[in-house]
């Protein structure tokens, strides 16, 4: 069958990725979108777009009936599910086929076989693929022994959702007394994310690496293996850095992994693109099956770049009934690193702070230098797969990933250097993102030598930041941007040099707080002193060569540099966030208002919402006495649950939310006082 019009039942970056291949092949495209996504690039890029009324996934992208109706209305003859949402929903796949549409994915039976992580282990065991076994005392979701010593001997444990992935519904348990609570939390999170609260328990391998193998099958017995990827660098079980091929993987282990993945796919007559994931123990050179993702993976670009293939094109070819041989000539199921071309590394750029807390708001600027978008590179360089553009709003309803930045080069070292350079030069304004953390990871000697495990980021020790000595050019540039902005906004005495005084008695002082959106009471204030002159500005320790509201050029110790910037102003308070891109990378600064509104103050003991989201459960009431660490409430944001606990022993003096309350970042949720008389 010839596919002529593809509807992508997804959003953002993956929708744009599928559209790119469809455009190249002359296939029409259809987007479906929620109200929150109406202005995102993927909607405008599609040939046709159909609105799914609502904002949440449950109202929109998870509504199989609405998606299929959108295909009918738009004249689509095929549906590509992307990843996440309905991509591994066997019922949706059957409904698509029942509607007379082409399902660009594996057979529903294959999805079901691998959709249950419990059932898939049984299947893999029978196929001769190594699997991790659950503790003998834990079967069918409950303990079968009362022997505490026997149970403690198996710690740590991993509680994991049977359906879905992405770190949702997953908890590490190191204290046996917390097992029951973590199972309940993981189950609730899995229910919210995937509609299935089934979880299981298995040993947690502390020093393991996450290695996965890309396969493509034709549904008739042929399975082609496109090497492996390393996805070891993770936080909260979500991948941060992915690369191909896997570094420091012995050839014989790679061959065994490829063969195990081939057997896994052949066991279910797999059709289309899929990934078989393994946990690898380098000390023993052993690996175990984790799961099979019966869809395209987020990290598929690194495989495309080193193998020179378009995996979306292969998906379309197989779904159309075509074979694989003509598209993958020269690649065999046992292909190893000898078939590869160079090295590729991908990082996921997230809207999140240094504590990995998701952020939301307006993405003022997103500019990342690159040689290609969503496709192959003709030479060593950077590929960008992004779901957002400058000016877009990043909401709270979906994953916080802004873009994937992928570097491809002849060697791993060069790929790393290219990627670090691209991230440092990127212009990202208006939101807090994980760019600095990504650079720290890529430049860490442990990463360079691949001396990392899946728990590396949680245990990694970083050197404390050195205190700046002398003049900090970035702080000076930020202060002068603010001063130049003030001068440009003046309606009285316009044209007179900023802060000009006939008789200079003292310098002007600009207060800055590192980081956008900082609080004036954070204790991290930086004060920059400067003078207004007839020709501009003067600063001790630096020569100001030029200063405007958009750019500052300074000379320090005989070395000149330019800091370009962007100011985002809070029209209510007058506070400003300053985003700088300079010779030493990017920085953000908050310039608080001169006078603080009393309404913005919070009382001692206030627990604030760490991000926008919704309250899904409350465990206390006003007047309750609580202990340090006690669970007070649970929030959900961007499909992840976050527990709010008591910081110290005390009494709940105020409770301002209930289950179902939507909250903004910084909103006071609970006030815990150490004085019982304040309890309401």
146-171 pLDDT, tens per residue? 567 767 777 888 888 876 666 677 88
Please give the helix or strand (H or E) that residue 614 lies within, else none.
strand 613-618
Torsion over CA: 399, 400, 403, 407 (sign): negative
- Mean pLDDT, to the nearest integer, of 355-381? 93
Q: Which residue has the higher pLDDT, 183 or 33?
A: 33
Omega of the bond leading into 488 within 30 degrees of 0 (cis): no
Q: Which residue has the higher pLDDT, 661 or 39?
A: 39
Angle at 270 between CA 265 and CA 276, to 5 degrees: 40
Query: Residue 528 pLDDT more than 90?
Result: yes
- Mean pLDDT, to the nearest integer, of 656-664? 88
Query: Residue 544 pLDDT more than 60?
Result: yes
CB 79 within 8 A of CB 316: no
**Domains of the chain by start residue, with CATH:** 5-104 (3.40.50.20), 133-203 (3.30.1490.20), 209-459 (3.30.470.20), 473-591 (no CATH), 602-678 (2.40.50.100)
Query: Residue 251 pLDDT more than 50?
Result: yes
- Mean pLDDT, to the nearest integer, of 80-89? 96
How far apart (Å, rounded) are the C-alpha atoms in residues 256 and 46? 42
Query: Residue 338 pLDDT more than 50?
Result: no
According to the model, what pLDDT value does residue 348 have? 98
According to the model, what pLDDT value does residue 220 have? 83
Structure tokens at 297: 């993976």
Q: 3-class secondary structure for 349-378?
A: EECECCCCCECCEECCEEECCCCEECCCCC
How far apart (Å, rounded) are the C-alpha atoms in residues 530 and 538? 6
Look-up: residue for tokens 């994310």?
193
State the pLDDT confidence band at 406, using cuts at 50, 70 and 90.
very high
% the chain with pLDDT above 90: 63
Please give the helix or strand (H or E) that residue 484 lies within, else none.
helix 473-489
Q: Which residue has the higher pLDDT, 238 or 410?
A: 410
Query: Residue 393 pLDDT more than 90?
Result: yes
Query: Residue 328 pLDDT more than 80?
Result: no
Query: Residue 340 pLDDT more than 80?
Result: no
pTM passes above 0.85: no
Radius of gyration (C-alpha) of the chain in whole angstroms? 27
Give the tens place of pLDDT for each residue, 299-314: 999 999 999 999 999 9
Residue 284 has a CB neighbour count (10 Å cut-off) of 9
State the pLDDT confidence band at 517, using cuts at 50, 70 and 90.
low
Give the tens place of pLDDT for each residue, 378-390: 999 999 999 999 9
- Mean pLDDT, to the nearest integer, of 496-524? 72
Q: Can you say how many angstroms the Cα of residue 452 is from the centroid of all Cα atoms in its chain?
A: 20
Of 185-189, 284-288, 340-344, 631-635, the range with the lowest mean pLDDT is 185-189
Q: Cβ neighbours of residue 330 under 8 Å, at least 6 residues apart? A: 339
How far apart (Å, rounded) are the C-alpha atoms in residues 487 and 479? 12
According to the model, what pLDDT value does residue 601 have? 60
According to the model, what pLDDT value does residue 332 have? 37
Query: Residue 89 pLDDT more than 80?
Result: yes
Q: Which residue has the higher pLDDT, 518 or 289?
A: 289
């Amino acid at each position: 069958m010839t596919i002529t019009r593809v509807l992508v039942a997804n959003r953002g970056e993956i929708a744009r990725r599928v559209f790119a291949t469809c455009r190249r092949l002359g296939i029409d495209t259809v987007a479906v979108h929620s109200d929150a996504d109406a202005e995102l690039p993927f909607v405008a890029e599609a040939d046709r777009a159909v609105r799914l009324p609502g904002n949440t996934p449950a109202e929109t992208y998870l509504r199989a009936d609405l998606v299929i109706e959108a295909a009918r209305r738009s004249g689509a003859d095929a549906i590509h599910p992307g990843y996440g949402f309905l991509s591994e929903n066997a019922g949706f796949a059957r409904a698509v086929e029942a509607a007379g549409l082409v399902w660009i994915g594996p057979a529903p039976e294959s999805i079901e076989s691998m959709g249950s992580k419990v059932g898939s282990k049984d299947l893999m065991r029978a196929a001769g693929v190594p699997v991790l076994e659950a503790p003998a005392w834990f079967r069918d979701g409950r303990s079968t022994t009362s022997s505490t010593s026997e149970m403690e001997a198996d710690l740590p444990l991993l509680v994991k959702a049977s359906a879905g992935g992405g770190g949702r519904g997953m908890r590490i348990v190191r204290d046996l007394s917390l097992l029951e609570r973590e199972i309940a939390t993981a189950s609730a999170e899995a229910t919210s994310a995937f509609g299935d609260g089934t979880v299981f328990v298995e040993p947690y391998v502390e020093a393991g690496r996450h290695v996965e193998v890309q396969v493509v099958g034709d549904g008739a017995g042929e399975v082609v293996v496109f090497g492996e990827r390393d996805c070891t660098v993770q936080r909260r079980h979500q991948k941060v850095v992915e690369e191909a091929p896997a570094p420091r993987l012995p050839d014989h282990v790679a061959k065994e992994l490829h063969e195990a993945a081939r057997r896994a796919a052949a066991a279910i007559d797999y059709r289309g693109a899929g990934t078989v994931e393994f946990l690898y123990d380098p000390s023993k050179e052993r690996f175990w099956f984790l799961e099979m993702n019966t869809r395209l993976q987020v990290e598929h670009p690194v495989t495309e770049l080193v193998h020179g293939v378009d995996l979306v094109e292969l998906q379309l070819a197989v779904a159309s009934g075509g074979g694989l041989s003509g598209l993958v000539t020269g690649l065999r199921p046992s292909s190893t690193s000898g078939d590869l071309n160079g090295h590729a590394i991908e990082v996921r750029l997230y809207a999140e702070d240094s504590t990995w807390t998701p952020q939301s708001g307006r993405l003022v600027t997103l500019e990342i230098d690159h040689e290609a978008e969503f496709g192959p590179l003709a030479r060593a360089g950077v590929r960008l797969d992004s779901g957002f553009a400058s000016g877009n709003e990043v909401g709270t309803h979906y994953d916080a990933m802004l873009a994937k930045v992928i570097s491809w080069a002849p060697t791993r070292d060069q790929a790393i250097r290219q990627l670090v350079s691209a991230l440092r030069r990127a212009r990202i304004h208006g939101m807090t993102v994980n760019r600095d953390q990504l650079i720290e990871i890529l430049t860490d000697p442990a990463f360079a030598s691949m001396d990392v495990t899946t728990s590396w980021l949680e245990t990694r020790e970083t050197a404390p930041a050195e205190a700046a000595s002398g003049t900090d050019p970035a702080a000076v540039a930020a202060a002068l941007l603010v001063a130049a902005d003030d001068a440009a906004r003046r309606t009285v005495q316009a044209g007179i040099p900023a802060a000009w005084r006939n008789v200079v008695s003292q310098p002007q002082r600009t207060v800055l707080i590192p980081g956008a959106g900082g609080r004036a009471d954070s204790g991290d204030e930086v004060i920059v002193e400067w003078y207004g002159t007839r020709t501009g500005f003067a600063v001790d320790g630096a020569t100001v060569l030029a200063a405007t509201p958009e750019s500052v050029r300074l000379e320090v110790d005989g070395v000149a540099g330019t800091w370009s910037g962007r100011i985002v102003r809070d029209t209510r308070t007058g506070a400003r966030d300053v985003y700088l891109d300079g010779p030493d990378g990017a920085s953000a600064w908050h310039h608080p208002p001169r006078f603080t509104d009393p309404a913005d103050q919070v009382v001692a003991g206030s627990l604030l919402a760490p991000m926008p989201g919704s309250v899904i459960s409350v465990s206390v009431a006003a007047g309750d006495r609580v202990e340090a660490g006690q669970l007070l409430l649970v929030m959900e944001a961007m499909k992840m649950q976050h527990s709010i606990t008591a910081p110290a022993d005390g009494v709940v003096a105020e409770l301002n939310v209930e289950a179902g309350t939507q909250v903004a970042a910084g909103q006071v949720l609970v006030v815990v006082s150490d004085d019982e008389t304040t309890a309401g």
